[in-house]
Copies of this chain bind each other. A is one copy, B any other.
């Protein structure tokens, strides 16, 4: 009788231990819907939490290089790339729908808010903060999570993307909305500067209103006759702002083309974006 009980206990221990280990090794079992960071009904699949795969302890993991690829993208070392490497599609999806992307965006907002609070305003109301829109102010994740887009691992389709923009359903990026609201309370005026075409002006205004951005000094979209690279376009628009007497105290965007060039502002803030490159 005592042997049977011992046998049962040991069996239970063995099964429990194995189950724990299996869960730890297979991240897909951990997938769950993160209700604090849902991107709305567009995403039918559950939201997976990030599990960085770094090939620890000598185990070969096919996605080993995706962490380094992402860092190289975020630091502007890799440029002019057209697609997320197919081997990193799953990694990028896990990252951007997961907790780490949310934490990374929060860290950007925290640093920006700490800096903004240190600014002494001149009293003439000329201090502005330049916000990019896509993947900075608004998120296109409901589009990028689609099976025909695969987080930027499939080629960009202008028609499909514009159809998505036209729905006006892009959610806010919560951390950046928090920065925006803090800047308003501090008396720093937001200026939206985007490469979106002017034809989408009304749909973008409605979309911004719907998710909590109600107030701005200017909303600058790309006119039909604008030519040149993103760096040139954004530099020229920022120069117009400076020539009009504005002081760019801060500048935030998900692309380095938002943050390099002329009149970039007193401080720049890079929002993470491993989905696409705009040069």
Interface residues of chain A, those whose CB is within 8 Å of chain B, are: 3, 6-7, 10-11, 13-14, 17-18, 20-21, 24-25, 30, 49-52, 54-57, 64-65, 67-69, 71-72, 74-79, 99-100, 103-104, 106-108, 111-112, 267-270, 272
Write the chain B residue with the least CB distance to A272: B71
User: Do B17 and A76 touch across chains, with their CB atoms under 8 A apart?
Assistant: no
Write the chain B residue with the least CB distance to A267: B79
> Chain B nearest CB: distance from A28 CB in Å?
12
> Chain B nearest CB: distance from A261 CB in Å?
12
Query: Copy number of this protein in the oligomer?
Result: 2
> Chain B nearest CB: distance from A18 CB in Å?
5
User: Do A65 and B268 touch across chains, with their CB atoms under 8 A apart?
Assistant: no
- Given known pairs A24-B24, A56-B49, the reply for A270 and B75 (CB within 8 Å) is yes
User: Do B24 and A65 touch across chains, with their CB atoms under 8 A apart?
Assistant: no
Chain B contacts of A74 at CB under 8 A?
A: 71, 74-75
Complex CA–CA separation, A272 to B99 (angstroms): 23
